[in-house]
Structure 1
C-alpha cells in the first residue's frame, strides 16, 4: 500500500490519500451492503462515505452510511447513491483538500487518469493538509521556511537554517535601495529634509504591496482567482492603490505643508499617491505570476515585494522631488 502511494508526485493528493476503503456495487442490496461494511469497518479509513464502483472500478456514485441505514433491505445501492465528486490522484494536495472542504463531504474518492478508484481523502486529512499549507504560506510570507514541527521542540540550528537563507536574499535585495540612495546623493545634499521621509515612504509602499499580495494569495488558495485573471486583478489593484494613495497623499500634503512648506508637502503627497498605486499593482500581480511559473505564490509575496517597492519607491520619490523643487 505504501509503495502505491509513493508512486505519485510529491505534492499530489495521491501521496496523501488513504488506499484503505470500502467499496460497493450499484446492484448490491442494502442488507448485503451493510454486512460488507461491518466486515471491513476495522480495516477501512472511513465507512461514513462509501464509493460505488462498476466492474471497471470506475466511480459511478457515492453513498453515505446514513443512507444505507435508512434504506430498506431490498433496496439496491444504485437506487440510493448520489452523484460522485472526485479528485485525480495527480492533483495538487491543497486543491483536492480545498475541494473536499468546500463540498462539505466527509470523504472524497480519488481516481486515476482513467477514472478508476485508487484511494479516498477524508475530511480529517483534508483539514490537516489545509492547516499545513496555511502554516507554510504564513512562514514564507514572513521571510522564513516552515519548521514542520512544534516551535518549542525545534532545535535552534534548524530555526536558524529556516531563516538565514531568506535574510541573505533580502540583504542582497536591499543593496538596490542603497544604490538608489547613492545615485540621488546630490539631491539629498541639496535638501536634507527629504531624508526624513524616506522611512515613511518605503514603509508605506511595502505595507501596501504586502496587503495586496496577501489578499491575492489568499484568493488564489480559495480558487477565487486564476492566473488568467491577471488583467482583472491588475485593474482592481491599480484603482485600490490609487484611492489609498489619494487618501494618504492628501493627509501627507496637509501635515507636511503645515510643518515644513507647501512644496515639500506636494512632493510627499504626490509620492504617496504614486507609491501606493505601484505597490498595490505589483503586490497584486506577483502572486499570479508566481502561480503561472509554478512557484509558491507566498515566496513571491512580502519579502520580495518589500525589497522591490523600496527601490522603486525611492526612485519615484526623488524624481518627483527634482521635478517639483527644481533641484
Structure 2
C-alpha cells in the first residue's frame, strides 16, 4: 500500500457516502417529509440544509423533522453546523461527532459545498479502530498498513516482528533496574526484609504510570482538552493515590513485620513513586508529541522502564536513610 493510499484510508473521503437527504431552508417540513418519502439513502439520520449554491448552512435531525409542527426547515435547523473536509483525519471526525453529539458528520469541499456525510455505522468503525490503534501503540505494537484490526489476523511471524522491537528495547533498558539493585546490594544484605517489597513497588509504579499514559494519549487526541490542566490534575491525583497506597502499605508492613522504620520507608517510597510515575506517565507521550512522534507509540514499554528504575531508586534511598 502506498503512502497516498494509506493516507486516504484514514480520512473522511474513505468513510463518507454521497446519497444523503438535503433540503432548502425555506421549505415547509411537511413538504420535505413528503418529498423524501419513498427514496432510499445511505445516510438518512439527518437532513442537511443547503443554500442555492449547495453550501451547508445547517442540519435537521430526523426526529426533529417529524416533530416539526408545521414549521419550515430554516426555523428548526441547527445553523452554521460544523463539518469536515475530505482530507480530515478519521480521529478528527470522531472527536467532532462526540463533541457535538452528531449522528452523522457532514463533509464539505473547500468552498463549503456539501459533498457527502460520514454515516453512523462509519463513526462506530472509526471509534473502534482508533481505540484498538491506541491500545496497540501503547503496548508498543507497530501499526499495520491495513489498520489495527488486520494486525490481529496477520501471520504469526508478522505479529512477532511487530511486537518485538519495543520489547527488545525494554529488555536492554531493564539493565538500568539491575544496576539499581546492584548499587544497593549493601542495603539488601543488611536487611533481607527490604527485598520483599520490591515487586509490589514495581507493580504499583507501573499501574499508576499506565493510567497516566492512557489519560495523556487520549488528552492529546482531543483538541478541546487542556493538556496543562490535565497535567496539573494528574500530579494531584498521583500524589493522592500515592498517599493512600503509601499509608495502606506502611500500615501493613508495621502490622506484619513490626518494624516502624521499614514501614515508613515503604510508605514514603510508595507515595513518592506514585507521584513520579504519574508525572512520567503523563509527560512522556506529551514529549513524544512535541518531538513530532506518535505519542502512543511505545509509551508503555518506555514508561515501564523509567518508572521501575525511579521507584526502586526512591525506595532504596529511603531504606538507606532510615534503616542503615
Contact 2:137 2:297 in 1 (8 A): yes
Determine the structure 2 residue equivalent to 1:88.
Answer: 84
Structure 2 residue 118 is matched with structure 1 residue 106: no
Determine the structure 1 residue equivalent to 2:158.
Answer: 158
Contact 1:137 1:298 in 2 (8 A): yes
CA–CA separation in structure 2 for the residues paired with 1:116 and 1:87: 10
Q: 5 Å matches for 1:25-40?
A: 25-27=24-26, 37=36
Structure 1 residue ranges without an equivalent (≥5): none
CA–CA separation in structure 1 for the residues paired with 2:300 and 2:179: 21
CA–CA separation in structure 2 for the residues paired with 1:211 and 1:124: 30
> Deviation at 1:309?
0.2
Contact 1:249 1:270 in 2 (8 A): yes
3-state SS of 2:243 partner: helix
Determine the structure 1 residue equivalent to 2:279.
Answer: 281
Contact 1:142 1:302 in 2 (8 A): yes
CA–CA separation in structure 1 for the residues paired with 2:205 and 2:46: 50
Determine the structure 1 residue equivalent to 2:199.
Answer: 199
> Deviation at 1:108?
1.8
> Deviation at 1:129?
0.4
CA–CA separation in structure 1 for the residues paired with 2:29 and 2:294: 47
CA offset digits 1:62-96 (Å, max 9, x no partner) = 235566667799x8644554324223224431232
Determine the structure 2 residue equivalent to 1:272.
Answer: 270
Determine the structure 2 residue equivalent to 1:129.
Answer: 126
CA–CA separation in structure 2 for the residues paired with 1:132 and 1:179: 40
Contact 2:140 2:298 in 1 (8 A): no
> Deviation at 1:271?
1.1
Q: What is the aligned length?
A: 315
Contact 1:86 1:111 in 2 (8 A): no
Q: Measured at CA, do residues 260 and 276 of structure 1 come closer, stay the same or move farther in structure 2, by a change above 3 Å?
A: same
Structure 2 residue ranges without an equivalent (≥5): none
3-state SS of 2:59 partner: strand
Determine the structure 2 residue equivalent to 1:236.
Answer: 233
Structure 2 residue 292 is matched with structure 1 residue 323: no
Determine the structure 2 residue equivalent to 1:245.
Answer: 242
Q: Measured at CA, do residues 174 and 50 of structure 1 come closer, stay the same or move farther in structure 2, by a change above 3 Å?
A: same
3-state SS of 2:54 partner: coil
CA–CA separation in structure 1 for the residues paired with 2:296 and 2:47: 36
Q: Measured at CA, do residues 91 and 289 of structure 1 come closer, stay the same or move farther in structure 2, by a change above 3 Å?
A: farther
> Deviation at 1:125?
0.9
Which stretch has the larger CA shift, 285-294 or 247-256?
Answer: 285-294
CA–CA separation in structure 2 for the residues paired with 1:129 and 1:144: 19
TM-score, length of structure 2 as denominator length? 0.79
CA offset digits 1:113-141 (Å, max 9, x no partner) = 44332331112111110011112222333
Contact 2:84 2:105 in 1 (8 A): no
Contact 1:216 1:284 in 2 (8 A): yes
Structure 2 residue 144 is matched with structure 1 residue 148: no
Q: CA RMSD for the aligned pairs?
A: 3.5
CA–CA separation in structure 2 for the residues paired with 1:242 and 1:211: 14
TM-score, length of structure 1 as denominator length? 0.79
CA–CA separation in structure 2 for the residues paired with 1:64 and 1:196: 61
